[in-house]
Chain A
Amino acid sequence: MSNYRVQGATGEWEVVIGLEVHAQVTSNAKLFSGASTAFGAEPNTQVSLVDAAMPGMLPVPNRECIRQAVRTGMAIEAQINAWSRFDRKNYFYADLPQGYQISQLYHPIVGEGQLVIEADEKAGIPEDKVIGIERIHVEQDAGKLMHDQHPTMSYVDLNRTGVALMEIVSRPDMTSPAEAGAYIRKLRAILRYVGSCDGNMEEGSMRADVNVSVRKVGDTELGTRTETKNVNSVRFVMQAIEHEVQRQIDVLEDGGKIVQETRLFDPGTGTTRSMRSKEDAHDYRYFPDPDLLPLVLEQDFLDECRASLPELPDAKRARYEKELGLTPYNARELTAEVETFARFETLLSVAAKTIGKPEKNVATQVANWSLSVAPGLVKSLGDEADMANATAERQAAILAMQDKGEISGGQAKEIYEIVLKEGREPDEIADTEGLKQVSDTGAIEAAVDDILANNQDKVEQYRGGKDKLFGFFVGQTMKAMQGKANPAVVNQILKDKLG
Chain B
Amino acid sequence: MTDLTDLGLKAIRGGVAAGDFTAREVAQAHNDAVAAAAELNAFIVTTPEHALAAADKVDAARAAGEELGPMAGVPIGMKDLFATKGVQSTAASHILEGFVPPYESTVSQKLWDAGAGMLGKLNMDQFAMGSSNETSYFGNVASPWKKQGSNATLTPGGSSGGSSAAVAARLCPAATGTDTGGSIRQPAAITGITGIKPTYGRCSRWGIVAFASSLDQAGPMARSVEDCAIMLGAMAGFDPKDSTSIDAPVPDWAGLLDADLTGKTVGIPREYRMDGMDAEIDASWEQGKAWLKDAGATVVDVSLPHTKYALPAYYIIAPAEASSNLARYDGVRYGLRDLPDGAGLQDMYAATRSAGFGDEVKRRILIGTYVLSAGFYDAYYTQAQKVRTLVQKDFMDAFEQCDVILAPTTPNAAFALGEMTDDPLAMYLNDVFSVPASLAGLPAMSVPATLNKDGLPLGLQIVGRPMDEQGVLNAGLAIEQRAGFTAQPEKWW
Q: Do A and B come from one complex?
A: yes
B369 touches A291 (CB 8 A): no
Partner of A94 from B243, B323, B345 at Cβ < 8 Å: B345
B213 touches A53 (CB 8 A): no
Q: A55-B101, A285-B373 are in contact. Are A99 and B243 (CB under 8 A)?
A: no
A443 within 8 A of B: no
State A56–B334 Cα separation when bound (angstroms): 13
Interface string of A48-83 (1 = CB under 8 A from B): 010011111111110000000000000000000000
Q: A60 to chain B: which residues have CB within 8 Å?
A: 240-243
State A292–B241 Cα separation when bound (angstroms): 11
Partner of A54 from B103, B327, B330, B381 at Cβ < 8 Å: B103
**Closest chain B residue, CB of each to CB of A93:** B345
Chain A at the B interface: SS class: loop
A98 touches B214 (CB 8 A): no
State A290–B345 Cα separation when bound (angstroms): 28
**Closest chain A residue, CB of each to CB of B350:** A92
A283 within 8 A of B: yes
A90 touches B372 (CB 8 A): yes
State A286–B373 Cα separation when bound (angstroms): 8
**Closest chain A residue, CB of each to CB of B348:** A94
B349 within 8 A of A: yes
Nearest chain B CB to A400 CB, angstrom units: 56
Stretch at the interface among B167-175, B203-211, B298-306, B480-488: B203-211
Q: A88-B324, A287-B372 are in contact. Are A56 and B207 (CB under 8 A)?
A: yes
B89 within 8 A of A: yes
Q: A55-B83, A92-B330, A97-B332 are in contact. Are A287 and B324 (CB under 8 A)?
A: yes
State A292–B213 Cα separation when bound (angstroms): 9
B272 within 8 A of A: no
Q: A55-B96, A287-B381 are in contact. Are A293 and B334 (CB under 8 A)?
A: no
- State how many residues of chain A have any CB contact under 8 Å with chain B: 30
B99 within 8 A of A: yes
B334 touches A98 (CB 8 A): no
Q: A56-B209, A90-B372 are in contact. Are A99 and B83 (CB under 8 A)?
A: no
Interface string of A93-120 (1 = CB under 8 A from B): 1100111100000000000000000000
B320 within 8 A of A: yes
Q: Which of A57, A93, A154, A156 has the most CB of B within 10 A?
A: A57
Nearest chain B CB to A337 CB, angstrom units: 38
B241 touches A58 (CB 8 A): yes
Partner of B243 from A52, A97, A156, A291 at Cβ < 8 Å: A291
Partner of A55 from B91, B213, B242, B323 at Cβ < 8 Å: B91
Q: A90 to chain B: which residues have CB within 8 Å?
A: 323-324, 327, 372
**Closest chain A residue, CB of each to CB of B382:** A287
B379 within 8 A of A: no
Q: B214 to chain A: which residues have CB within 8 Å?
A: 290
Q: A283 to chain B: which residues have CB within 8 Å?
A: 373-374
A287 touches B320 (CB 8 A): yes
Q: How large is the interface on B (under 10, 10 to 19, 20 to 34, 35 or more residues)?
A: 35 or more
Q: B377 to chain A: which residues have CB within 8 Å?
A: 285-287
Nearest chain A CB to B336 CB, angstrom units: 13
Q: Which of B91, B324, B369, B377 has the most CB of A within 10 A?
A: B324
Chain A contacts with B in 266-300, Cβ cutoff 8 A = 283, 285-287, 290-293
B453 within 8 A of A: no
Q: B324 to chain A: which residues have CB within 8 Å?
A: 88, 90, 99-100, 285, 287
**Closest chain A residue, CB of each to CB of B208:** A56
Interface string of B209-241 (1 = CB under 8 A from A): 110111000000000000000000000000011
State A55–B374 Cα separation when bound (angstroms): 28
Q: A60-B241, A287-B381 are in contact. Are A53 and B333 (CB under 8 A)?
A: yes
**Closest chain A residue, CB of each to CB of B216:** A290
Q: A52 to chain B: which residues have CB within 8 Å?
A: 333
State A54–B105 Cα separation when bound (angstroms): 12
State A285–B381 Cα separation when bound (angstroms): 11
Partner of A58 from B206, B321, B333 at Cβ < 8 Å: B206
Interface string of A155-170 (1 = CB under 8 A from B): 0100000000000000
B330 touches A57 (CB 8 A): no
B105 touches A56 (CB 8 A): yes
Q: A290 to chain B: which residues have CB within 8 Å?
A: 212-214, 244, 321
Q: B243 to chain A: which residues have CB within 8 Å?
A: 58-61, 291-293
State A98–B333 Cα separation when bound (angstroms): 11
Q: A92-B327, A285-B373, A293-B243 are in contact. Are A55 and B89 (CB under 8 A)?
A: yes
Q: A61-B243, A285-B369 are in contact. Are A55 and B99 (CB under 8 A)?
A: yes
Q: A54 to chain B: which residues have CB within 8 Å?
A: 83, 101, 103, 333-334
Chain B contacts with A in 345-372, Cβ cutoff 8 A = 345-346, 349, 369, 372
**Closest chain B residue, CB of each to CB of A59:** B243
Chain B contacts with A in 173-221, Cβ cutoff 8 A = 205-210, 212-214
State A287–B207 Cα separation when bound (angstroms): 23
A56 touches B206 (CB 8 A): yes
**Closest chain A residue, CB of each to CB of B103:** A49
Chain B contacts with A in 446-477, Cβ cutoff 8 A = none
**Closest chain B residue, CB of each to CB of A92:** B349
Chain A contacts with B in 23-53, Cβ cutoff 8 A = 49, 52-53
State A100–B329 Cα separation when bound (angstroms): 12
State A217–B346 Cα separation when bound (angstroms): 45
Nearest chain B CB to A44 CB, angstrom units: 10
Nearest chain A CB to B362 CB, angstrom units: 15
Q: Which of B82, B103, B330 has the most CB of A within 10 A?
A: B330
Q: B103 to chain A: which residues have CB within 8 Å?
A: 49, 54
Q: A94 to chain B: which residues have CB within 8 Å?
A: 330, 332, 345
Nearest chain A CB to B368 CB, angstrom units: 9
Nearest chain B CB to A103 CB, angstrom units: 13
State A191–B49 Cα separation when bound (angstroms): 57
B373 touches A291 (CB 8 A): no
Nearest chain B CB to A211 CB, angstrom units: 20
Nearest chain A CB to B475 CB, angstrom units: 30
Chain B contacts with A in 74-111, Cβ cutoff 8 A = 82-83, 89, 91, 96, 99, 101-103, 105
B491 within 8 A of A: no
A57 touches B327 (CB 8 A): no
Interface string of A459-495 (1 = CB under 8 A from B): 0000000000000000000000000000000000000
Q: A59 to chain B: which residues have CB within 8 Å?
A: 243
**Closest chain A residue, CB of each to CB of B345:** A94
Q: A292 to chain B: which residues have CB within 8 Å?
A: 243-244
Partner of B205 from A49, A56, A88 at Cβ < 8 Å: A56
Nearest chain B CB to A107 CB, angstrom units: 14
State A301–B432 Cα separation when bound (angstroms): 44
**Closest chain A residue, CB of each to CB of B385:** A288
**Closest chain B residue, CB of each to CB of A86:** B243
Q: B105 to chain A: which residues have CB within 8 Å?
A: 56
Q: B89 to chain A: which residues have CB within 8 Å?
A: 55
Q: B244 to chain A: which residues have CB within 8 Å?
A: 290-293
Nearest chain B CB to A146 CB, angstrom units: 14
State A285–B82 Cα separation when bound (angstroms): 28
**Closest chain A residue, CB of each to CB of B209:** A55
Nearest chain A CB to B85 CB, angstrom units: 12
Interface string of B140-181 (1 = CB under 8 A from A): 000000000000000000000000000000000000000000
17 contacts between A and B (CB under 8 A): A54-B333, A55-B101, A55-B210, A56-B206, A56-B207, A58-B206, A90-B324, A98-B327, A99-B326, A99-B328, A99-B330, A100-B324, A156-B332, A285-B377, A291-B213, A291-B243, A292-B243
Binding site for A on B (CB under 8 A): 82-83, 89, 91, 96, 99, 101-103, 105, 205-210, 212-214, 240-244, 320-321, 323-324, 326-328, 330, 332-334, 345-346, 349, 369, 372-374, 377, 381
12 A-B pairs besides A52-B333, A285-B369, A291-B243 with CB distance below 8 A are A56-B105, A56-B205, A56-B208, A58-B205, A60-B240, A60-B243, A90-B372, A92-B330, A92-B349, A94-B330, A285-B373, A290-B212
Q: Which 7 A-B pairs have the closest CB atoms?
A: A99-B327, A285-B372, A290-B214, A290-B213, A53-B328, A56-B207, A55-B209
